[in-house]
Structure 1
């Protein structure tokens, strides 16, 4: 679809710089030309900044998303006899939910084609977590992906090169030009990949809080509403849950540590917040797939979800019985005082895990499978001065100092005396799901 001669990048940049809405043919042209190399990186950087500063209306975002989808191929799961449903999380600390969720939903009768990503910065990546299982492969051809879906009902793998190539190019550019935070660009990035993936239904887990991308409920609500609108406009049944991310999810942040915790959930145990969110998302996914009567809690209890997990890991070359890697070095962080833990900041824990080697600063950096942070208490729990609060894991002990510095930032860890107002505020269970948008 060449529009050569009818457009130029500077006109498009100026239009958005001056606060105008871009026409559909301008959007189609600029993204197509960018993928072909006709629009230079610095021109797209200028356009991304103009979008960040001036925003886009719903029609523009829908056109931008459609042009990103059109830049590559679309997957087709219509040959499967089951309804397809998928989940996307905007990322957080200790967010291992995809691992138990995909096999759980498969055990309830839906097919789950879960294209996942790698971690960047303080939020972990699903593929990095699974790669701590010996032999497991993230990269599958379309044929292999269908094979795993037929065998296990769920697949978790990397997106192929042909899926929304405009997004891959633009994602890398946004990362180095300070334009990551733009809601139109976040929404179109996520949704172009998910719509191109060809799933029939999609549940979005939009995180809110210090360890999330969206720090406030209002921003998370705006992002969720934009993405639900995009999915609906493209014929995908889409719903979003807004979920808590000011405290890490579960009791682990780090690749192999999170796999271990996910297997505990599939075995019928695991931390209450991880189980609660896994079941809430499973119910939404099954409902969106037209299976409202399925009972995910029963599939966790009777072992059928664990059976799907084992089949899925094996079908991707992994050994579900192999011991997971453990770190060579550990360091215990004691509770600073006795009382009720009132703060354990998700962002600080995420940065600590990253600095221990669980994450990467650049896309090409390796990660340590065994590095991470283990939590021995969560806010609301009673702690005793000097008792273990966190255990840091790494193969490279020279990293402890930087990780401890992240945890030592003001307000990252706080303990209030029992009976105080601060301690009382943490009494009773706190909701994991904060809102729903459909």
Structure 2
């Protein structure tokens, strides 16, 4: 199979514009002391520039206001946006709104697109993806939140948590069990629920390592759905489509996560490199020390490997859809998160006590990097996926109980046979 990650000059120019824009316009906002009103004014102006460049909501097809770039190009864009947590919302593709808009674009009907997706894209609404439950962990087949059909309505009861953006969302996409007797991956469905629907009780934002920033200032809500009634027209797709829709949403999202992690890792790597060439010690600078050189070389190798794995996954998705890239997506989820963690950890170590202070972005990045190894499925789940899918290509070999010739014995017999044939 031939792989081609090249992009045309016009798109390369867009990427360069993004690099300059993030460096000159967005990164300074991280340390700007702006009140909410001033911040909204500044970001509105930046969003207008993004829209003028045709880069707003780039993850969606052109007919829905996006760029129709495909996953490979989106990956390259997200690598740039990953350098700052402020960049994705300015480009109209911050989680969970970007994934939810993409989900509605794929599975929503015209009514749902008009009522929820288009206002979401326009920045008029905010959304929440409400799936994770206490007790279910990373196994979505153990979800217990139920939606029971009652005439022209569904009645929802259940307990969710880590519903990112739940405290601020105008509507929720709720993963529910509609047929508990069906096979595990056909039990669930997705239903749209407006925030002001009676019975929707947002209990709290769960305090997590990294504070609100770990969710991009969105928070992780704990929610009780108690006899929540919604029209049957709020069902996305058909009953039992929940897992299929989730895979279509999470597949691209994990690629975007992995590329944003590369942007974060590159930023930490740059900070580390600047430190080792600048920090003087007793007999030179840190860059002259072999241990520091090992940090740099290992980090560079890990980042390049993660980048190639991620681009390969994106390319396969462009060629054959999510199903064609399932193993690759699982690979980049655990490898990319680990690389991000490793590089930031080394950067902190190089800076000593300065590295754990708020004077540098590293300590906040470090906490977020640790969380990356858990959200969207813990590393271990994705490793199991990779192993299982890899081992499908191998068949068991029957081991005879009699004497098994050693490799040396087999080679000797083969040589003897060849010698006898030549003599004959």
Q: TM-score, normalised by structure 2?
A: 0.29
Report the structure number with the largest CA radius of gyration. 2
Larger relative contact order (CA 8 Å, sep ≥ 6): 1
